Amino acid sequence: MITDLHTVPGFVFNGFSAGLKKNNQLDLAIIHAEKPCAAAAAFTRNLVVAEPVKVCKKQMEDGLIQTVVINSKNANACTGELGKQAVYDEIKRTSSIFHVAEKDVFIASTGVIGRPFPITQVLNGITLAANGLENTEKSSDATARAIMTTDTKPKGASFTFSLGEQTIHIGGIAKGSGMIHPNMGTMLSFIITDLNIKPEVLKVALNKAVDRSFNMISIDGDTSTNDTVLVMANGKAANDLIDSTSHQHYAKVEEELTRICIDLGQTIVDDGEGITKMITFEVKGLPEEEDCRKIIRTLSTSLLVKTAFFGKDPNWGRLFAAAGRAGVNFDPDKVDLFMGQNDELCLLKTGQPEELDEALADEILSKRDVKVKFDFNQGKAHAIGWGSDLSYDYVKINAEYTT
Amino acid sequence: MITDLHTVPGFVFNGFSAGLKKNNQLDLAIIHAEKPCAAAAAFTRNLVVAEPVKVCKKQMEDGLIQTVVINSKNANACTGELGKQAVYDEIKRTSSIFHVAEKDVFIASTGVIGRPFPITQVLNGITLAANGLENTEKSSDATARAIMTTDTKPKGASFTFSLGEQTIHIGGIAKGSGMIHPNMGTMLSFIITDLNIKPEVLKVALNKAVDRSFNMISIDGDTSTNDTVLVMANGKAANDLIDSTSHQHYAKVEEELTRICIDLGQTIVDDGEGITKMITFEVKGLPEEEDCRKIIRTLSTSLLVKTAFFGKDPNWGRLFAAAGRAGVNFDPDKVDLFMGQNDELCLLKTGQPEELDEALADEILSKRDVKVKFDFNQGKAHAIGWGSDLSYDYVKINAEYTT
């Protein structure tokens, strides 16, 4: 049960059935705050974007959001003027049902693209939800389930941390399994917290956090039209207002926001379509962090690397060759490559293969969690990312999923 | 039977078994010209390159090659000083056995990387080949077979064309199925012709040809450490020497060289690991040709696009979303998208989905050859590329192939 939203005071939420999915499955989620919250969002970098993304970029301008409406099953993308009008209709209905300003409403959609948006059902759903919001374990779980598409399970993360004498609560939910990639593939995440922070500072922290978490996960290299991460902070914790990035507590906030984004990102990779392995890629020893990230993105999207992990093959050749085509300049003769949580299996030393300890390789590769570490030994930058293998089931799920 | 080399006068060749592969399979190929030929080569752009590639970049400096030795089974990559020494040993032995200058020898290898190179067997193979070269249909076929790795069939192409009153013969062989991608994945191709041309002009023509052929095919997005395309022209056709790119016949030569590279490239895609569909991507209507190519490379390597074709799904949403993340700037509201050899199925018109003709879509997608065309309607550039679908068998072949 995903009880993570329940841990944060000052919010109510629930998941509903608006009749978009078959058999009365949950398909509409609403998260509502007692009062407008400081909010920040990160959106897909795809040029082809869904209508709610276009509209909500504007909704974010004043950095305040009070009510979020999310539907699954239909992405409201490539739906033209009718699709855009539907988003405004959703905003209007939400505003009148929950008594919030239109400018403080946020809309997100996920599902198939290019199909007419079922606006009547969604509007009816919003109306029916009027008295259904609460802050319970059950409503938290229903909210997480209502945003699922091909996900096999709902996803959430939460924890508390201290700022001076105050305890801060933070909790979030996420969805997404196919199309997950740097730049955020069909991926939605909603994070709520009682932190007291200015919107513009929250935005800086979220961008840093997303770059090191959601933008460093990959299942299949595709990014979607709808990807969105939203964080809402209601200030109820009454910590000293974080009003700039030079505030004494800012670094801690950025760190904890990054942590929850990594936690949520990992739940997405872990539920990747048809995966049998969850791979952590660590790259160090290059001059620039962006170069480390480029190498990770090439590794984590290489089909040959992914199928090698599915086949439990310690194929350093595919890893090394993928690094070599990442568009990053390095000296191959300085490269070390390791596998295992503690780098216990050395595969390459200064660019040359080590004799393979097959028993140790078998042991490492028979686990679900595998770590790969490149040390280029030619700089001080460092990055981490997460990926998965590629299995028969990935092909099956994606060959059979209908447009 | 691959008889394509047989069509070109002035060359002898054959495939041999040097004992690298099991069961006396062919694993060593030699192509030898009567005299040093004008030659040009294009190599992998991977930073991690095999030893023969390092050495042969230098061998190409004077633009003359007479004898080529290619082995399969072992790529001689990540093999360090011993690997490099092996290449020099191969050159020496070839020089003494075939009475050619060391500087006119070209070596290529393909197979697994990071394994000690079986130099003794290869040298014995070269010696044994001394009296085995001939220009026959049988020796052409054996040459094409000896360079295969996971290929399911040997690959070749040939034709003649006219330059003024002369008939020019051109024929080539190729190998490669996994790891095929722009920048040339584990892909070898050797082209011979009786054309009379200066090496430096041949080099310009080959680069143009490779950019529009081998660099525009993709099976899995990975590039290898060993990729090489070599063309040798012995001048026997006695056409007026093509001595500059402004020669009256240069344009025709570039066109025909591009044609044979496309023919050979298509045989590689067609034999892609586990493919059931061969997809031609045409992109037009952007300001720059390189932008058209970027879009094609993103489309042809998208897992979601590839699995959709395997599932026979006319999934314009995945195609459109892949185009949107290609890193090319365009206005989504101007985009048209078609499927079918004659663009008979319109999927998107000015960025909006058309009503789907399911019967027509079924008919188009049940064929092995499928064409996809994007018209961005915002420029005059144009490009074509080739890709494949992604099947269960791709995963199986690559999960089980051992390092």
Concatenating the DSSP letter of every residue in B79-143 gives -HHHHHHHHHHHHHHHHHHHT--GGGEEEEEBSBSSSPP-HHHHHHHHHHGGG--B-SHHHHHHH
List chain A residues with CB under 8 Å of B319: none
pLDDT at A222: 61
Residue extents of the structural domains in chain B:
4-270, 278-400
Q: Tell me, yes or no, if A403 comes closer than 8 A to chain B by beta carbon.
A: yes
- The vertex-B382 CA angle with B377 and B386, nearest 5°, equals 120
Is residue A150 annotated as part of the catalytic site, yes or no?
A: no
Strand partners, A390: none
pLDDT at B177: 65
Question: Which residue positions in chain B have pLDDT lower than 70?
Answer: 177-185, 218-223, 397-398, 400-403
pLDDT at A346: 97
CA–CA separation, A347 vs B211, rounded Å?
35
Q: Tell me, yes or no, if B183 comes closer than 8 A to chain A by beta carbon.
A: yes
Q: Per the residue annotation, which of A79, A186, A193, A258 is the catalytic one?
A: A186
Q: Per the residue annotation, which of B79, B94, B143, B186 is the catalytic one?
A: B186
List chain A residues with CB under 8 Å of B310: 395, 399
Query: pLDDT (tens digit, 0 to 9) for every residue of chain A, 403 residues total?
Result: 999 999 999 999 999 999 999 999 999 999 999 999 999 999 988 888 999 999 999 999 999 999 999 999 999 998 889 999 999 999 999 999 999 999 999 999 998 888 899 999 999 999 999 999 999 999 999 999 999 988 889 999 999 999 999 999 999 999 986 544 433 347 899 999 999 999 999 999 999 999 899 888 865 556 678 889 999 999 999 999 999 999 999 999 999 999 999 999 999 888 877 788 999 999 999 999 999 999 998 999 888 888 889 888 888 888 998 899 899 999 999 999 999 999 999 999 999 889 889 999 999 999 999 999 999 999 999 999 999 888 777 777 666 655 4
pLDDT at A184: 36
Alpha-carbon torsion (A265, A267, A270, A272), positive or negative: negative
CATH number (3.20.20.80, 3.60.70.12, 3.40.1360.10, 3.40.50.720) of A4-270 reads: 3.60.70.12
Q: Tell me, yes or no, if B66 comes closer than 8 A to chain A by beta carbon.
A: no
Q: Closest Cα of chain B to A111: distance in Å? A: 11
Q: Tell me, yes or no, if A388 comes closer than 8 A to chain B by beta carbon.
A: no
List chain A residues with CB under 8 Å of B221: 301-303
Q: How many beta-carbon contacts under 8 Å exist across A and B?
A: 177
CA–CA separation, B376 vs B371, rounded Å?
16
User: End-to-end CA distance of chain A, in Å?
Assistant: 30
Name which of A133, A159, A142, A149 is nearest A4 in CA terms.
Answer: A159
What are the tokens at B130? 């001394």
Q: Closest Cα of chain B to A192: distance in Å? A: 29
Q: Tell me, yes or no, if B221 comes closer than 8 A to chain A by beta carbon.
A: yes
pLDDT at B223: 64
Name which of B356, B179, B347, B207 is nearest B269 in CA terms.
Answer: B179
pLDDT at B113: 81
List chain A residues with CB under 8 Å of B308: 398-399, 403
pLDDT at A296: 94
List chain B residues with CB under 8 Å of A47: 323-325, 328-330, 332
User: End-to-end CA distance of chain B, in Å?
Assistant: 30
What are the tokens at A44? 């897909």
pLDDT at B220: 58
- Contact across the interface for B398 and A316, Cβ inside 8 Å: no
Q: Tell me, yes or no, if B396 comes closer than 8 A to chain A by beta carbon.
A: yes
- Contact across the interface for B80 and A47, Cβ inside 8 Å: no
Architecture of domain B278-400: Roll (3.10)
CA–CA separation, B383 vs B212, rounded Å?
8
- Contact across the interface for B114 and A316, Cβ inside 8 Å: yes
